[in-house]
Every structure is written in C-alpha cells, then in structure tokens.
A and B are shown apart, each in its own frame.
Chain A
Amino acid sequence: MANKSVMWLAFLLVSLALLAACATLQGGYQLPAEHPEALGAGRPTCTECHEARGEQFNYQRYDHSVFFTENHLLAARQGEQVCAMCHQTSFCNDCHATRVELKPSERHKTETYRRMPHRGNYLARHRIDGRVDPTSCFRCHGNPKTARTCSPCHPN
C-alpha cells in the first residue's frame, strides 16, 4: 500500500512537471476564456457570424438550435471550454448538479422558451419514460445524492 502511494505521488509530480513544461509552449488555436463580444439574449447561432468550419474551429457544431438542449451531450463532453466562454457553471448546474431540489422547469418557471426537462406534471409521465428508457434518468439521478429525489417512492 505504501509503495502504491509512493508510485502515485511520483506519477503526480512527474505529471505536474510535464504539464508545467508543456503549458509554456504556444498552443494551436486557443479558445478565449470569454466570448469576445457580448451576445444578445436568446439562443445564439454561431454561424450567423462565423463560417461553419472556419478559423480552425467547427462553429456549426455549437449552433443552439431548438434541439440543442437535448443534443449537446457530445459537443459538451469534448468542448467544455467552448461552453465556458458563455456559460458560468451555474447555468449547467440547473440541470447537471449533485443535488438541486427544484426541478429545472420549476427553478426557471417563466423562461418558457427554454426546453427544460420535466416541464408540467412529470410524476405520472415518468412511470412510462422510466420504463422505456431508464438510462436517460440515470444521467442526472444516478448517484446516491441525486437519487434522494427518487427515494421517497423508490427506496433502496
């Protein structure tokens, strides 16, 4: 156990040294920390201003169409930095959080233009959606803390 700890510590130190050395190199296309211009309210369409595949980046992938709320899984997995240019983590936490008590459509009740999950009376509908596709529930409710929403009716 001690040897394993020493190995992990050595690995961490070497990794930090490597990171420090490589981070000083000039990277390729470097995403800015923030979008350079203030965007108007509403869903942004990147390709309104950018070429779909221009400037060493795929802007089309991040066009916020009406389906983007449901379809941003892969784009966000690979491009967390892109999301961070416009969104604080709190924006993502409205749906993706370790535990929030108010469901997203309750938290943002008057933002009806956002396709937030569980809008309306979801209690009856979730019986069917959960039978059909429990994997979609697991993404947000799958760990012990988030599952406390479910445990009053679905105990361990």
Chain B
Amino acid sequence: MGYRLCSFSPVFCLLSLLLLLPALAPAAEFRLISDSILRGFESNTREGDDFALPVYEYLQAEVGETGPLTFHFYGWGRLDLADSEYFAAYYGDSTAGELLYAYAEYRQPDTSLMARLGRQYIFSGVTSESIDGLRLDTDLTPLFTLSAYTGRPVSLDIVDERDEEILVGGRIAHHRRDLYEIGLSYRNLETGGGRESVGIDTAFFLPGGVDFSGFSAYDLGGDGWGEHYYEARFDLGPLRLRPFFERYRYEDYFNAGDNTGGPFIFLAEIGETLTVFGADALWNRDDWELGVKGKYYDYDERGDSSFFLSGLATRQLEGLSQVGGELGRMEGDGSQDDYLLARAFVYWDQIPPQRIFHFLTGDLVYVLYDEDIYDEDDSLFLSVGGGRRFMDDRLELRIAADYSYDPYFDDDLRGWLLAQYTFDR
C-alpha cells in the first residue's frame, strides 16, 4: 500500500481495539456508513491517452449513541483499478488514503464536560486544525465556557523531521447565549518554526433582530494582526441583510511557519494587505429565495481592486426538490481577472417509487472569460444524474455523467457511480 492510515500508531492501535469492543458487546448501538465511489475518465497526456478507473471507499462508523462513551471513525482510501499513469504522475501513487478522524468521546452525564481522545478536528477560536491528541470542553458556571486541547498536527506528519511537534491551545468564552459572547483563544505550535497566535471573537445580539459579530487574530511571532472578519446582520422580516468587512495582513495571515502550505509561503513575504468590503441580501418568501451578494477587494501594495457581484434564485418544491440559478460577474482592474459565471441546477425527487430512478439531478456551470486562457475564452460543465434506494432505504445507488470543456481540457467525459450502504443496530 502506498499510504499510511495513521502515523500516530499507539493511538490508532488503541482506538482500533476500542472499536472492536462492539463485537464483544452485542447490545452496543452501532452505525456504519459506507460510500463506495467508482469514477471513470480518460486523461489526455503528451504520452497519449490514459484511462483511469479509481474506486474510492469512504467509511464512517459511530459506536454508542446514548451512553456517556462513544467512538467515532471516518476515513477514505483510493485504488486505481486501471493502474493508469494519471494517479502515479499527479499523486505519486495509484493508491492513497487518509484517516480523517478516529476518537473516543466521553460526555459526563448531567454536566457539560466533554473529553475527546484520538484523531479529531479542532475548530475553535484561532485554531482550525486536525490533531492526534486530547481535547477537553466544559462550562465553568453558567457564564463561562472553556476548551483546551493538545496534540500533534496531522498536517505535519508528511514533513521531514517534523512529526513530533505538539500543538497546544484553548479558548475561554464569557457569554449569555441570547445576548452576547466574547471569546479569547490561543494556540502555539511547540518547538521552532511554528506559529503562536491569539484570537478574539465577539458576538452581540441586539434588539430588533440586529447581530454584530466578528473575529480578529494576532500573530505573536510576526507581531501583527493577521485577520479581521466582522459582520452585521439585520432581520427585516422576509429580507435579511448582512454587510461585512475583512482585512488580511499577508505577513501575519500566511505566516504559519513550517505549517504553511508550500504554494502560500511566498505570500507572507510580499508585504500585501487585502481589505474586503461586501454585503449580501436575501429575500425569502414562501418557496422562493432571492439573493444578491457583492464583494469589493482592495489591495494596499498592488494598487488595484476587484469587484464581484452575483444574484441567485432558488425555488423549493416538494420534498428535497429544488430548482435554481445564479449569475455572477467578476471584474478586476485588468481584463485578465474578468469573467461571467452562470449556473443552473435541479434536484427532483417527486418520482413514483415504481420508476427506475427515485431522484434526478442536473447541474450546468458556464464561465465566459474576458481574456483568453490558452486560446480559449469559455468553459462549460454539464452533469446529469439520478439515484435509487433499496432494502428499506439502507442501500442507495447514485449515478452521474459529466461533459465538460475548459481552457485546460477539451471534451471531457466522466462517469461516476456511488453505492451508499447504511448499517445500524
């Protein structure tokens, strides 16, 4: 196999053992969801045509539902049945996989204490990171919430000699959940080359359906505010308005030390600051949603600006059935940044059960570029699909076919087949 499921072996072994417990305790609640996806496409390379037939398996397991102790697992793997050059050239191997999370969770009854041990995703305050480690959450009196975590960032386990670094962090928040919340968060990647930062997040819920909320992050290593993100929400009955403001100082925002992805490293050195002003408005009446969104981008160093405006409309029909469309225009200071985007979609599930398909789908995306890219000025993506359920809805088969062309590829045809099976006890 050309991949590692988990590099934090002791935790993985322990959790694997814990996940086996349901086999020994037949009364434990257990839910397993398997998504198997088969794709087929032809890749046109300089060496000639190459056909790829990758199969993906996504496996999710939840053990225990009502008890204080539960177990959670989610991972994926890929095998190219055609052993094509495409995956070997693009990803370095015909097989791949990733353990996205695998953790044990304990919730103390009648309190708010929660503990998680294992591979898990932390999305709290200044941290958005997957770690192999421990997390503790609890309320401290009715007015305070505390979260603390430590572990090894999963993102670093492919970096040479960096797979033993430890991330520590936490967030404490003061709140009245119906009036306001103020949170202070901290994260530090231990040992050199890491990133130490603090964040403050606020939310104020005012009378008249008005909310103000925002987040700011300060990079302690670079000594500067890397991110500001603030918005207001106005509830005017069927109409909701949301003006927002964002500001990013590249030197601090893109500076995550050795935890910065390669393509973004140079951005921390160009001295740029991006400011974004924008607003969106949504009108909701009966089954219709009509929305407009505008964003203005301004750069301190580049001295130019860009503007994006889009409008969308969706109509909710019976069940999950929906039909909708969107039209958007991006305009920069130069025509190289200008394009027009149009999208239309449909999802229809009001089909008699005796028919072949229980639901049908369609999606079309068209983009027109003001300036040619590789001598082409437009791209088209069209997808049609459908699905059917079996075995009391435990098994669902979905199929789709795509046609597309764009400046990079002519006349792409792709097939997609998904089998989803849900087992629970």
Q: Which residues of A contact B (CB under 8 A)?
A: 15-16, 18-20, 22-30, 33, 41-42, 52-58, 60-61, 65-67, 71, 73-78, 80-81, 88-90, 92-93, 96-102, 106-107, 109-113, 119-121, 123-125, 127-129, 131-135, 137-139, 141-148, 150-152, 154-156
Q: Is the CB of A89 within 8 A of B253?
A: no
Q: Is the CB of B112 within 8 A of A30?
A: yes
In the complex, identify which listed stretch (B8-16, B17-25, B42-50, B289-297) lies at the interface while the others stay far away.
Answer: B289-297
Q: Is the CB of B229 within 8 A of A42?
A: no
Q: Is the CB of A100 within 8 A of B76?
A: yes
Task: List the A side residues contacting B240 at CB < 8 Å.
Answer: 65
Bound Cα distance A132, B51 (Å): 35
Q: Is the CB of B386 within 8 A of A60?
A: no
Across the interface, A110 reaches (CB within 8 A) one of B130, B142, B361, namely B361
Task: List the A side residues contacting B37 at CB < 8 Å.
Answer: 102, 107
- Do A138 and B254 form a contact, CB below 8 Å, given A89-B101, A119-B343? yes
Q: Is the CB of A138 within 8 A of B282?
A: no
Cβ proximity bits B256-272 to A, threshold 8 Å, 1 near / 0 not: 10111111110100000
Bound Cα distance A128, B381 (Å): 18
Task: Tell me which of A30, A133, A150 has the highest count of chain B C-beta atoms within 10 A of its own C-beta.
Answer: A133
- Do A74 and B121 form a contact, CB below 8 Å, given A65-B240, A67-B280, A144-B156? no
Bound Cα distance A57, B385 (Å): 40
A-B contact list, 29 entries, CB within 8 Å: A22-B140, A25-B141, A27-B141, A28-B143, A30-B112, A41-B319, A56-B177, A58-B205, A66-B312, A67-B293, A71-B231, A80-B123, A81-B137, A90-B100, A100-B76, A101-B96, A106-B416, A109-B402, A110-B386, A120-B363, A120-B404, A124-B369, A124-B406, A132-B332, A144-B155, A144-B260, A147-B263, A152-B90, A156-B262
Task: List the A side residues contacting B359 at CB < 8 Å.
Answer: 110
Which residues of chain B from 400 to 419 have any CB-CB distance to chain A below 8 Å in the complex? 400, 402, 404-409, 416, 418
Give B408 Cβ to nearest chain A Cβ, in Å: 5
Q: Is the CB of B211 within 8 A of A100?
A: no
Bound Cα distance A123, B407 (Å): 9
Q: Which residue of B lies closest to A139 (CB)?
A: B128
Bound Cα distance A155, B407 (Å): 21
Q: Which residue of A lies closest to B412 (CB)?
A: A121
* Count: A-B pairs, CB below 8 Å: 311
Task: List the B side residues contacting A27 at CB < 8 Å.
Answer: 111-112, 139, 141-142
Q: Is B98 an interface residue (CB 8 A)?
A: yes
Which residues of chain B from 370 to 425 have any CB-CB distance to chain A below 8 Å in the complex? 373, 379-381, 383, 385-387, 398, 400, 402, 404-409, 416, 418
Give A42 Cβ to nearest chain B Cβ, in Å: 5
Give B13 Cβ to nearest chain A Cβ, in Å: 20
Bound Cα distance A15, B135 (Å): 12
**Interface SS of chain B:** strand
Q: Is the CB of B148 within 8 A of A23?
A: no
Bound Cα distance A24, B246 (Å): 40
Q: Is the CB of B262 within 8 A of A97?
A: no
Bound Cα distance A108, B421 (Å): 15
Task: List the A side residues contacting B136 at CB < 8 Å.
Answer: 16, 19
Q: Which residue of B lies closest to A63 (CB)?
A: B240
Q: Is the CB of B155 within 8 A of A98?
A: yes
Q: Is the CB of B261 within 8 A of A146?
A: yes
Q: Is the CB of A33 within 8 A of B320?
A: no
Q: Which residue of B lies closest to A141 (CB)?
A: B261
Task: Tell me which of A71, A77, A93, A107 has the highest count of chain B C-beta atoms within 10 A of its own C-beta.
Answer: A77
Q: Which residue of A lies closest to B168 (CB)?
A: A8
Q: Is the CB of B367 within 8 A of A65?
A: no
- Do A77 and B96 form a contact, CB below 8 Å, given A33-B107, A96-B123, A112-B346? no
Bound Cα distance A32, B363 (Å): 37
Q: Is the CB of A19 within 8 A of B379?
A: no
Bound Cα distance A74, B96 (Å): 33
Give B205 Cβ to nearest chain A Cβ, in Å: 5
Bound Cα distance A121, B200 (Å): 37
Task: List the B side residues contacting A90 at CB < 8 Å.
Answer: 60, 74, 100-101
Cβ proximity bits B57-82 to A, threshold 8 Å, 1 near / 0 not: 01010100000000010101010000
